[in-house]
Amino acid sequence: MGKKIHLVDSSISSDSSRFDKLSSRGSGDITIKIAASCNGNAQAVADIQKSLGSDKIDVLIIYGHGAPGVQGVAMGKDSAGVKENSAITLKAVTDEKSSWMSLRPYFSKEGAVVLKGCNTGRGQKGDELMLALAKAFGVPVTASDWYQLVGRTDVVGNIRTAYPSGKISEDKASGLVNLSAVPVIEAIAILGAQMFGNP
């Protein structure tokens, strides 16, 4: 049985206890927190490899700030600009020296990746990033075109999945979330975005 890895840009929430609870959800869960760093991508990959031992990855969920085609890994509190090597971008994945490419043999046959950055899967840039990661890892990669809820494993918004074959599918039914399971302030934000459209 493989592991579920929760990779967290530790600066996305002042309430780190939300992420401490992730590892307790299942015996195969591992939470890795990455601090803001100029070499966050390499650190994240090294920490993932170290935590696995001889195990494989069933699911890699990456929590961090996002933008279309950008998944934060070690961006810190300043998400206004993407610092080199602090986020997963098309360049970070396709660069021949990319540390992300070295994770491919660590995925199980049923492996998958979920990008939990806000708007990471939006538009052409989102598609390009997801396809590049799917081809690099050899597993499906899922992201959304919408804001994500901090510390939750579910994905909110229009969910798209890219496959190593180059195909992208969209889950049309995913645009709604069960608001009864969401904290009040987050529910207000979701309702506002549904009423007035995506930002």
CA pair distance 3, 23, nearest whole angstrom:
10
The string of pLDDT tens digits covering residues 124-159 is: 999 999 999 999 999 999 999 887 766 666 676 788
Confidence (pTM):
0.81
The one-letter amino acid code at 51 reads S
Alpha carbons within 13 angstroms on the beta-carbon side of residue 193 total 21
Q: How many domains does the chain have?
A: 1
The one-letter amino acid code at 199 reads P
The string of pLDDT tens digits covering residues 2-31 is: 899 989 887 776 555 666 665 555 566 888
CA pair distance 168, 192, nearest whole angstrom:
28
Residue-range definition of the domain harbouring residue 135: 3-196
